[in-house]
Structure 1
Amino acid sequence: MELKQQILRILEENRGISISGTKLAKELSVTRSAIWKAIKSLQKEGYCITAVTNKGYCMAPHNDIVSAESITPYLKGRAHNFHLEVHQTVTSTNTIAKELAAKGSPEGTVIIAREQTEGRGRMGRSFYSPESTRIYFSIILRPKLSMEDSLRITT
């Protein structure tokens, strides 16, 4: 996992609590300078991370950036094992899910996007899905159903 993702995970799990750069550096086996650079990069990407002298770094209680690290702490039960793929813009989460499923991606793979340029609803209908108004997602499921029973899923 990339350093920025590791920092995000830690800050998300401790949202609203300051964590020192020294503690982050020790936990992630990197220098404080590397932590500082990664934090600056995350801030440029739009993450609301504050730096308080002699306290550390803190993720704001409310953040509208969608990332696997911001979602994972809220997943419970079986959903905790879901593999999340987060994108800013995709043609269609459904199309990507179908491609990944055909390549053997496991059940519980979730494709998430802030915008779809060619979103589709049921029966191939166009689905308007503009940027930053919602999140759009598709989940790969591999239910053990007969062909007859599988028809009931969308009805």
Structure 2
Amino acid sequence: MALRNIRKYGDSVLRKKCREVEKIDERLVTLIKDMLETMYDADGVGLAAPQVGILKRLFIVDIGEGPLVFINPEILDTDGKQVDEEGCLSLPGKTEPVMRPNYVKARALNEKWEEFEIEAEELLARAILHEYDHLNGTLFIDRTTKK
């Protein structure tokens, strides 16, 4: 495993739409392990592949309950509203209030290429939606409620 360089705000890769992952192979397994190591080293709760320069639909999340790997995720449903401060490893030191759904239902493949669905609320929902945005070139500052 190795630490990956986290791309910072201003890097054009953060604004690009990601491509679907077509298969699980040794390179993808290594990428997932590297992303986990990088996220934990940076004290983050999530990291998306474009944040390490890879334009693939992949992100990881760990809000303290163990890591979750999302490959080719889909958002199936959202509900409610919550406003809270968000930060991002690609915008170190910056936080802004962001309104997001309080509930999300998502479907994805895990690191074993198994399909799963997850229902999440509050912080986990926020983390999933934040990382999902990265796959479409959207940053939390695009959604801030601060005027």
Band of TM-score, shorter chain: under 0.3
Using the size of structure 2 for normalisation, the TM-score is 0.22
Who wins on radius of gyration, i.e. which is larger? 1
Using the size of structure 1 for normalisation, the TM-score is 0.21
**In proportion to residue count, which structure has more helix?**
1
**In proportion to residue count, which structure has more strand?**
2
